[in-house]
Amino acid sequence: MCGIVGYVGPREATPVLVEGLSRLEYRGYDSAGVAVLNGGVQTRKLAGRITRLRGLLAEAPVHGSCGIGHTRWATHGAPTERNAHPHSDCGGTLALVHNGIIENADVLRTRLERAGHRFVTETDTETLAHLIEESAGETLEERVIAALDHVEGTYGIAVVSQTDPGKIVVARRGSPVLLGVGDGEFLVASDASAVLAHTRSVVYLNDGDVAVVTRAGYRVLDRHAQEQDRAVDDIEWDLDAIALGGYPHFMLKEICEQAETVRSTLRGRLLAGEGTARLNGLNLTPAQCSRIRRIVIVACGTSWHAGLVGRHILEELSEIPVSVEYASEYRYRRELRIPGTLTIAISQSGETADTLEALRAAKAAGSTVIGLVNVVGSTIAREADGGIYLHAGPEIGVASTKAFTAQVVALLLLGLWLGRQRGLSVDEGRVMVTELLGLPDLVARALQVESQVRALAERHADARNALYLGRGVNFPVALEGALKLKEISYIHAEGYPAAEMKHGPIALIDENMPVVCLAPKDSVYPKVVSNMQEVKARGGRIIAITSEGNGDLGRLVDHQIAVPASSPLLAPVLTVIPLQLLAYHIAVLRGCDVDRPRNLAKSVTVE
């Protein structure tokens, strides 16, 4: 979603800001802008892409060495130039960028308008600029702290003012902001990728922090202006990880990286002799582990699908009952204080607002909470009691791919570890370790289906609807395949449990309906074959994702794509690959902007 960048140092700010904003493009946005201090506040903004902002700045340059920038994903008010950030006060003395939502914006606006403030945008953010203008205080930070006292909702903000030249004031509550610590210069960003071209040293701010950043250094304050200590962390990856590296799209790059990312999630975590996993970050003692009576998984989107796969894995290996909840629904349900609950928050970004709030609700209800998170230092990673980092490297494509397979692998590791604590034998554990060690090579082989999938995409690129069917651990893969297709190709697609199809979707099947059936060899394979026969009988066009050694399905299906055979619990990591590739190639053939699908955001930091 929205992105923030700030710069203060010896250099011209604008090129640094624009470069930082371009690194945040992947998050999804519809307008962009910068403001630089130069005696007064100089702002340039527009509706549209960063390339257009570059053009605007070439025509009307702004000079100065302290400034802020923003990419906006519209929530309050249409994506217009006027509503684009930075926003200003009546006097035009300050500029402010904001991620998040000010929930009491209407009340504040009415009050401020009565006090004589003139609003020029429809945004909730503008209330913050007027509130700061209204607030008393000698310094900008004092005024920001005073203003934020009146605010309900979530924010990550960066503010500059001509009354405090050479200074950026930053604050966060519920929306991430970090400081980039350079050599004689400092950056501000909502995401580490925006500062990486300049520094690897970052300070992740906590909720409630206010930071004052100048060329001379930075200070972190609490809301009573008391100074706080915050550690400086190192970003683990480099710019190559966020470059296309010869691929036409990040999504394809990330699909093709999966043999390596699966290996990376597993690295150093398998103990062959003991037949278990080493997961030190979980922070769960054997005693705590033996007290677990149920597991609740909370997540959104693709991560929720990984959670559904996780239910099968964890129940199978640990025999602990698992429920999987949409985080957005869970957070508003009555909290059940059930002793022995382990809550698992799954989130690639570690910043999804609903997943974070679900985690907090679970904690408040007394549950131990662990996070399965990709982004190191993210809010969910820091607020959880422990967790497993995915180590999949930055995921830039909005449609999640390598994070999904990494999440399933992390769940397999967790299942193995929990299972071994609760009755899975050493021998069974060793078998699983051997299978997991072989998984990256199977992923590499599964990726070899790409040319077949591309040919298939050509036949189906005109489809208006598609149905994805699966059973057991592959039902969530059907959901994920359908989600991928609709996210990036805008074809309506539904995932369904294969047998449940008879209770409704079967009415939709005709010769124009591609039906993708997940049919790897497992205990429900004969049942899936029966379901495919039901589709065939209604004239549906069947695309079967089978596994090698399954035999020829040619008499039943229109197309078949075989991934390597694996034990059933590992299969989703392989069966999802042709579905990711199918969505990708269909979207490319339809001319869609694969890495920046309309209306979607990489990380949904508002409810």
Which residue type occupies 288?
Q
Rule CB under 6 A: is residue 193 a binding residue for ligand G6P? no
- For ligand G6P, which is the closer residue by CB, 300 or 517? 300
- Choose the catalytic residue: 2, 256, 289, 592: 2
Place of tokens 């790897």: 520
Q: Which stretch binds ligand G6P (CB under 6 A): 246-254, 285-293, 344-352, 563-571?
A: 344-352
Place of tokens 């359908």: 482
Two structure tokens written together for 70:
């923003």
- Contact with ligand G6P (CB under 6 A) among 349, 367, 546, 605: 349
143 Cβ neighbours under 8 A, 6+ residues apart: 132, 135, 136, 137
603 binds ligand G6P (CB under 6 A): yes
CB 43, min distance to ligand G6P, A: 30
The site string for ligand G6P over 282-301 (x = CB under 6 A, - otherwise) reads: ------------------xx
Give the alpha-carbon dihedral of 78, 67, 144, 382, to 10 degrees: 80
241 touches ligand G6P (CB under 6 A): no
The site for ligand G6P, by CB under 6 A, has a size of: 16
Q: Which helix (H) or strand (E) holds 4?
A: strand 3-8
The residue to which tokens 């972190």 are assigned: 220
Choose between 64 and 156: whose C-beta lies nearer to ligand G6P. Answer: 156
Going edge to edge, which strands form the sheet with 341-347? 322-326, 294-299, 341-347, 368-373, 386-389
Contact range with ligand G6P by CB under 6 A, out of 171-179, 394-402, 448-456, 533-541: 394-402
Minimum CB–partner distance for residue 350 and ligand G6P (Å): 7
Choices 99-107, 346-354, 473-481, 524-532 (CB under 6 A): range interacting with ligand G6P: 346-354
Minimum Å gap between C-beta 300 and ligand G6P is: 4
Q: Closer to ligand G6P at the Cβ: 218 or 330?
A: 330
Contact stretch for ligand G6P (CB under 6 A) within 167-175, 239-247, 398-406, 430-438: 398-406
Q: Of the two residues 14 and 328, which places its CB atom closer to ligand G6P in the complex? A: 328
DSSP state of 220: E
> Cα 425 vs. chain centroid, distance in angstroms?
36
Nearer to ligand G6P, 241 or 600 (CB): 600
Among 31, 400, 489, 546, binds ligand G6P (CB under 6 A): 400
Burial of 507: CB neighbours in 10 Å, binned 0-12, 13-18, 19+? exposed
Distance CA 225, CA 562 (A): 61
Residue 579 in the binding site for ligand G6P (CB under 6 A)? no
Question: For ligand G6P, which residue of 295, 604, 605, 606 counts as binding (CB under 6 A)?
Answer: 604
Of positions 221, 602, 605, 606, contacts ligand G6P by CB under 6 A: 602
Q: Which stretch binds ligand G6P (CB under 6 A): 341-349, 441-449, 501-509, 556-564?
A: 341-349
Do 78 and 122 meet the contact criterion of CB atoms below 8 Å apart? yes
Q: Supply the minimum distance, in Å, between the C-beta of residue 598 and ligand G6P.
A: 12
- Catalytic-residue membership of 2: yes
- Cβ pair 310, 344 in contact under 8 A: yes
| By CB under 6 A, residue 432 contacts ligand G6P | no
**Residues 6+ away with beta carbon under 8 Å from 150:** 104, 108, 131
Q: Which CB atom, from 42 or from 328, has the smaller least distance to ligand G6P?
A: 328
SS3 343: strand
Q: CB–CB of 148/102 below 8 Å?
A: no
> CA–CA separation, 196 vs 394, rounded Å?
12
Longest dimension (CA), the chain: 80
Check residue 175 for interaction with ligand G6P (CB under 6 A). Answer: no
Residue nearest to ligand G6P (CB): 301
Minimum CB distance to ligand G6P smaller for 45 or for 484: 484
Please report the DSSP string for 409-462 in residue order: HHHHHHHHHHHHHTT--HHHHHHHHHHHHHHHHHHHHHGGGHHHHHHHHHHHTT
348 binds ligand G6P, rule: CB under 6 A: yes
Q: Which token pair is 604?
A: 């949904």
Angle value at C-alpha 412, between 409 and 415, nearest 5 degrees = 155
Q: Which of 347, 379, 547, 575 binds ligand G6P (CB under 6 A)?
A: 347
Q: Which is nearer to ligand G6P, 303 or 566 (CB)?
A: 303
Q: Does 398 bind ligand G6P (CB under 6 A)?
A: yes
- Is 289 considered catalytic here? no
Q: Which stretch binds ligand G6P (CB under 6 A): 451-459, 526-534, 559-567, 596-604?
A: 596-604
Strand extents, DSSP E, 131-208: 155-161, 167-173, 178-181, 186-189, 201-204
Check 167, 402, 484, 602 and give the catalytic one: 602
Using a 10 angstrom Cβ sphere, with 0-12 exposed, 13-18 middle and 19 or more buried, the burial of residue 605 is: buried
* Whole-angstrom distance, CA of residue 601 vs CA of residue 594: 12
In whole angstroms, how close is the CB of 340 to ligand G6P at the nearest point? 26
Is 344 a binder of ligand G6P (CB under 6 A)?
A: no
Q: How far is the CB of 347 from ligand G6P (least distance, A)?
A: 3
Q: Which region among 86-94, 248-256, 393-401, 472-480 touches ligand G6P (by CB under 6 A)?
A: 393-401
Asked whether the beta carbons of 301 and 483 are under 8 A apart, the reply is yes
CB of 439 to ligand G6P, least distance (A): 21
461 makes contact with ligand G6P (CB under 6 A): no
489 binds ligand G6P (CB under 6 A): no
> In the range 352-371, which residues lie near ligand G6P by CB under 6 A?
352, 355
By CB under 6 A, the residues from 53 to 112 that bind ligand G6P are: none
Nearer to ligand G6P by C-beta: 289 or 398?
398
Q: Which residue has the tokens 């050509």?
A: 458
What's the CA gap between 249 and 275, in Å, rounded?
A: 39
The structure tokens listed for 487 are: 């996210």
Burial of 99 (C-beta count, 10 Å sphere; 0-12/13-18/19+)? buried
Catalytic positions are 2, 602
Chain positions contacting ligand G6P, by CB under 6 A: 300-303, 347-349, 352, 355, 398-400, 600, 602-604
